[in-house]
């Protein structure tokens, strides 16, 4: 049953990731010239925020199905470490070393901050329940 819950979350998270990445890149490319991977940064930060929220709201342990669907399945498919790694490597190989380093630093700092913000939001939701 657990595998089916993860698959259900991933079946929604993967298309949301793709569509969000494309939408962000269309908007950014219309306004700027550059190769920074804004779409991947956006989905990764959103995944961190949502995961922090889900884990905090379900911290009591009574909602393991919710953790599997939203945490492992949806957030796992929404965020992507492999694409982040590939795009960082590509930036470095193309001579944009400063952008590659910036991508790593911003992704880590903002991702951790987003997870913390999600956890704080989750505490607020937990207080309401």
**pLDDT for 46-105, tens place per residue?**
999 999 999 999 887 767 888 999 999 999 999 989 999 999 999 999 999 999 999 999
Q: Is the pLDDT of residue 127 over 70?
A: no
Q: What is the DSSP letter of 35?
A: -
pLDDT grade, residue 32 (50/70/90)? confident
pLDDT of residue 126: 62
40's CB contacts (< 8 A; 6+ apart) are 21, 80, 83, 84, 87
């Amino acid at each position: 049953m657990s595998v089916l819950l993860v698959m259900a979350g991933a079946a929604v998270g993967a298309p949301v990731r793709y569509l969000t990445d494309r939408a962000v890149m269309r908007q950014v490319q219309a306004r700027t010239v550059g190769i920074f991977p804004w779409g991947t940064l956006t989905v990764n930060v959103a995944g961190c925020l949502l995961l922090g929220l889900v884990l905090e709201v379900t911290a009591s342990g009574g909602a393991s199905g919710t953790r599997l669907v939203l945490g492992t399945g949806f957030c796992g498919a929404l965020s992507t470490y492999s694409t982040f790694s590939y795009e960082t490597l590509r930036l470095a190989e193309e001579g944009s070393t400063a952008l590659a380093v910036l991508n790593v630093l911003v992704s880590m700092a903002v991702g951790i901050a987003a997870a913390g913000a999600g956890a704080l939001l989750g505490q607020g939701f937990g207080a309401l329940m």
